[in-house]
Amino acid sequence: MDRKLKRKLAEAVRRDFSRRMLTLGFARTKPTFWTRSADFAVQFVHLHSFTHSPSFRVHLGVRALSDTFPAPALNGLMSCDGWALAARKYSFDFSASADTSKCADELSCYVSEVCLPWFDSFASTEALLAPGGPLSDDARLRLSLAVEGHADPSAVAASRAMLGLDPVL
C-alpha cells in the first residue's frame, strides 16, 4: 500500500475512533492522543501507526499533571504485550479493500474491554500514589505535592500543552 493511501485510511480510522471515544469521555487532543482528565492527572490512549504495515498499536498512560518528565510516558498497557489476549484476539489492521470501521470497532472494543478496567484501577489519586502503580517515583512525589496544594504551575501548564489540553486560566 502506498504511503499516501495508508495515511488517508489511518486518518479515517482515527476519525471514526474519535467519535466512539467521546462516548467514553475521551477527546482527541492531538492527532494520535485521546485524553480524559481526572483530579490531578490525565488518562490517555495513544494510537501508534506502524510504518511497515497498515496497522495500529495501542498504548495507555496516566500522567500526573505536575509531572516534569519531558514526554507523555507510555506507562500503561500496550496492545501487543499480550496482557489481555487470552480472552480475545484483537486486530487493528486496516486495508484499502475493507471498511475502516472494522478497525475502529476493534479499537473501541479493546478500549472498552481492556483499557477502561486498567484506567479504573488507577482512577483515584490514592491508587496513583501507591507504589507499584504506573507513575514513576518522581511523578508520585509531584502528585503528592499537588494534592497538598503545592503543584508547580509551570509543570502543569507543560503537561497540559504536551497532551493538547486547554491551558487553565
What does the pLDDT look like over 21-43, one tens digit per residue?
A: 999 999 999 999 999 998 899 99
In this predicted structure, what is the pLDDT of residue 10?
96
Cα separation, 157 vs 153, in Å, equals: 6
The pLDDT of 141-149, averaged and rounded, is: 97
pTM above 0.95?
Answer: no
* pLDDT tens-digit readout, 96-141: 877 789 999 999 999 999 999 999 999 999 999 999 999 999 999 9
The pLDDT of 5-31, averaged and rounded, is: 96
* pLDDT tens-digit readout, 63-80: 999 999 999 999 999 997
pLDDT at position 87 over 90: no
In this predicted structure, what is the pLDDT of residue 86?
47
Which burial class, exposed, middle or buried, applies to 87 when counting CB atoms under 10 A from its CB (0-12, 13-18, 19+)?
Answer: exposed
In this predicted structure, what is the pLDDT of residue 81?
61
Q: Are 41 and 146 in contact (CB under 8 A)?
A: no
Where is 7: in which H helix or E strand? helix 3-22
In this predicted structure, what is the pLDDT of residue 59?
96
pLDDT at position 55 over 70: yes
Whether the CA torsion 111, 113, 117, 118 is positive or negative: it is negative
Closest by Cα among 55, 153, 148 to 110: 55
pLDDT at position 88 over 90: no
* pLDDT class of 8 with cuts at 50, 70, 90: very high
In this predicted structure, what is the pLDDT of residue 15?
97
Closest by Cα among 52, 112, 60 to 88: 112
In this predicted structure, what is the pLDDT of residue 152?
95
